Copies of this chain bind each other. A is one copy, B any other.
Amino acid sequence: MTEQSRIASRFKASAAVPQGLANCPVRNVLDQIGDKWSTLFISLLGEKPHRFGELRRAVPDISQRMLTQTLRDLQRDGLVSRHVYPTVPPSVEYRLTPLGQSLLEPLSHLIRWAETHHAAIRTARGEFQRQAA
């Protein structure tokens, strides 16, 4: 059994206790960083600290509401820190914490995979639709 084939057991680590799967550490963490926006902002902040408005302009298709919420969730998880400068109007800067930076490395593997295989996935999607029609 290769190391990869054991991945599933990591998800099931807590399956013994009630609601164990929902509390599984891996799912717990991946549910957050695997949402629609988190990885994108972690990548942007990995480049350099950004202000709120910079992030909004960098990702025009997020609503301000979700941007606020995503940043707060990342902050809550200790991946991002928030710094308010008492200028007028006040400006707010977001940065990766060391914990957030440590995520850049494994994330980069996933991104490399996506770059390498997105053509194959597009082909598969086309194929699938052709068969459905």
> Interface residues, chain A, CB within 8 Å of chain B?
3-12, 19, 21-22, 25-31, 33-36, 39-40, 43-44, 46-48, 58-61, 75-79, 99, 101-115, 117-118, 120-121, 123-125, 127-129
* With A31-B36, A117-B29: A61-B22 Cβ-Cβ less than 8 Å: yes
Q: Do B99 and A47 have beta carbons less than 8 Å apart? A: no
Contact among B61, B75, B79, B107 with A7 in the assembled complex (CB-CB below 8 Å): B107
Nearest Cβ on chain B to A44's Cβ, whole angstroms: 5
Flag if A5 contacts B46 (CB, 8 Å). Answer: yes
15 residue pairs A–B, Cβ–Cβ below 8 Å: A3-B108, A4-B46, A4-B105, A7-B43, A7-B111, A28-B121, A30-B111, A31-B36, A34-B39, A77-B121, A77-B124, A78-B121, A78-B123, A79-B124, A103-B117
